[in-house]
Amino acid sequence: MTTTSYLVIGASHRTCSGVVRDRLSTDEAEVAGMLDRLRAAGVGQAVWLSTCDRVEVQAVHERPNEAALAIAEAMADRAGLPTADLAPQLYTRTGIDAVRHLFAVACSLDSQIVGEPHILGQLKAAHRSAAGAGMTGPELEAVLQAAYAAAKRVRSETPIAEGATSLAAAAIQVARDLHGDIRRCGALLVGLGDMGALVLEGLREAGMPRLTVAAPVDRRAEAAARRLDGHFAPWADLEAAMTGADILVTAAGLGRYILTAPMMEAVLKRRRRRPVFVVDAAIPADVDPAVAGMDGAFVYDLADLERVALQGRVGREAATQAAWMIVDEAVAAFARDRAERAAVPAVAALRTHFEAERRRLLAGHADLDAASATRLLVNRLLHAPSEALRALAADGSGEGLAERAAAERLMFRLFGLDRLTGAALEETERDKDERREPGREVR
């Protein structure tokens, strides 16, 4: 019987730099082409998920190792890198580990900012794209729906989402303290990390009229600007765009400082030292620590915002632990359900076999009484497994003995022989006692 395995392969903020993720990233119009590439490589069920934090493929395949290689090659082509260079920066999960990873992603437990609300919507959008391309099937649908159910439980049963939203609210609070009416301010988002987008969305809801987006890949910045109903600034014009920003949010995480001290000094001079509120929402940091000491620059990182939000680390860790408990419960329930479903064909095949033997026996021995017929049927049904056990017993190798022991344990478990054997022994003892009674003939 052919079986399938769940598979996840990708690159995230945990495994590679923002530069590589930018080269791997795809916008909505490009996803169909990547799915076509995977289909041509023999991967028939797959979701291509591209976010600021990660680019990964969630798939189902009969041969997960072969599928992982095909997906890695497709990703390397996308990034313009040799597969051997990209492979060390990819993570691969198979089987139940892949399921747990997918659930964690859906629940925002694998995001840079645990609890951020965007990832579930991004996953559902990627799912819709895969379904539209004919790249989903019952196995992939089952695990995705189970992941969504786990995410709903995490959102409703834990306060984990409050952490991310409170950080954004804290940034808005500091912006108001510094600038007063933020409706007269302008903001610039540098990079496309989820926490940065969350702060910008909060500023938009708070009434800030001017939002601008810049990112190392201009096409991605343009798409984000449209989504945020803001303006786009080319990466080459970053310093000029910074000059007009009263609030500067960095969320690129390229592994190097984007906002250097000389750059900020030039920006502040052109602004005539009008204050700039800088939110470094990137991991690793985008802002040179020296910027914080400049007159007119007010730099807050995520830890600073957490303190402003009065969100105790112990409370957040407790919420995260509670969320992981829900994920682990959901993964176990999903695995149990799939195992039960997988057992149905085997049970059906066994029933069909037994029924066929019964019909053959009745056809050839219509004159037998019930006792003789059932005895003969039992002998026929036990013939094949008895021969198999004898063959295993005859194999004196360690492997043969281990296989025999495993087969016997499975047989006892499948047919409840532990209980039956105990009852049979009691019945045998009673028979012996009765045969020993005075006056009873022993044969």
304 is in an annotated binding site: no
195 is in an annotated binding site: yes
52 is in an annotated binding site: yes
The two three-digit tokens of residue 69, written as one number:
């290689």
Q: Name the CA dihedral angle for 83, 89, 93, 99, rounded to a multiple of 10 degrees.
A: -120
Peptide bond just before 284 cis, omega within 30 deg: yes
192 is in an annotated binding site: yes
Q: At what angle do helices 138-157 and 118-132 cross, to 10 degrees?
A: 160
210 is in an annotated binding site: no
209 is in an annotated binding site: no
122 is in an annotated binding site: yes
Angle ∠(215,218,222) on CA atoms, nearest 5: 90
Task: For tokens 């009434």, name the residue.
Answer: 207
* Helix H or strand E segment including 84: helix 83-86
295 is in an annotated binding site: no
Q: Diameter of the chain by CA atoms?
A: 120
117 is in an annotated binding site: yes
228 is in an annotated binding site: no
Give DSSP secondary structure letters for 217-235: SHHHHHHHHHHTT-EE--G
Q: Which of 88, 132, 89, 123 is nearest to 104 (CA)?
A: 123
Q: Which of 102, 71, 98 is nearest to 87 (CA)?
A: 71
218 is in an annotated binding site: no
Contact indicator for 90, 72 with CB cutoff of 8 Å: yes
Determine whether 185 is an active site residue: no
Could you list the beta-strand ranges (E) of 20-137.
45-50, 54-61, 91-94
Catalytic residue among 16, 52, 107, 185: 52
In the annotated binding site for NADP(+), the residues are 191-196
Q: Residues annotated in the binding site for substrate, as ranges?
A: 51-54, 111, 116-118, 122
User: What amino acid positions are annotated as catalytic residues?
Assistant: 52
Annotated binding site: 51-54, 111, 116-118, 122, 191-196
